[in-house]
Amino acid sequence: MSQKSSVTKRRNRSLNIPASELPSQTEDFRTTEAWRVLRIQAEFVDGFNFLADLQKTVTFFGSARLKENDPWYQEARKLGGMLADAGYNVVTGGGPGIMEAANRGACEGGGDGDSIGLNIKLPREQRTNPFVEKSVGFHYFFVRKVMLAFSAQAYVYFPGGFGTMDELAEIVTLIQTKKMSNRIPVILVGRDFWQPFLDWVSKTMVGKYRTLTAKETGIINLVDSAEEALKLIRKAPIRTKFG
């Protein structure tokens, strides 16, 4: 028996780990749960380090499927430019559609705000749009979601799909449960898209089933233009930390 194997066995005995639960000598350690935990931890460290010095940030959410000729692509592009001109950093998921539009606007803006993308690593596809100036990539979607929620002055939601709805529900829940300040605006852009959803919330969740109160729905702001969104964002306090 090698000295290394002997040391490993003594260490395992000291930790009271049953031999049946130990990985085999031929198993790739990178496939183990312990390695996965370390990888997750490393992604959180990299993400927080990347964002730690950014104080004036606005996070955009919305569909990756909307094209350049879509009116909401153009509105997100306009808002991204207005925010960059005002000195805000624009944060997106780094992909196409609304994310690309916001990053594009930030790049075109003449101010000090940066265009930032928090990308997701996919095996066969590169999703980072060409207008991202600073970026970091993540393997795990849930780590990326935490980073998108980190220290923003406002959260802006353009028309989107299940992912956008998921991200909206998470931020609203954090504010509802007082894990996040209620002074941070949650802004839905696009009355035609969002009003039917808000009507359902009011009629069904508040009115019929009483799973929400009318006061809790006040967390959400509905606007129809980049100009309206910017007015709300300017009123928000500058956040220096998450939570």
Q: Judge whether residue 242 has pLDDT over 50.
A: no
pLDDT at 240: 58
Q: Please, which residues have CB within 8 angstroms of residue 225's CB and are 6 or more apart in sequence? A: 75, 189
* Tokens at 153, concatenated: 């002055």
Average pLDDT of the segment spanning 51-73: 94
11: confidence class by pLDDT, cuts 50, 70, 90: very low
151: confidence class by pLDDT, cuts 50, 70, 90: confident
The alpha helices in 110-161, defined as continuous H runs, are: 141-148
* Greatest mean pLDDT range, 7-21, 23-37, 171-185: 171-185
Q: Which amino acid is at 174?
A: L
Q: Report which of residues 193 and 126 the model is more confident about.
A: 193
Model-level pTM?
Answer: 0.84
d(CA 95, CA 98) in angstroms, rounded, equals: 8
pLDDT at 4: 47
Per cent of the chain over pLDDT 70 is: 84
pLDDT at 237: 84
pLDDT at 127: 75
pLDDT at 178: 94
Q: What angle do CA 64, 66, 68 make, to 5 degrees?
A: 120
d(CA 189, CA 69) in angstroms, rounded, equals: 17
Average pLDDT of the segment spanning 226-230: 98
Q: Judge whether residue 58 has pLDDT over 90.
A: yes
* Tokens at 87, concatenated: 């000195």
Residue 125, exposed/middle/buried by CB under 10 A (0-12, 13-18, 19+)? exposed
The closest alpha carbon to 117, from 158, 98, 36, belongs to 98
Domains in the chain, CATH or no CATH each:
42-235 (3.40.50.450)
End-to-end CA distance of the chain: 52
pLDDT at 23: 56
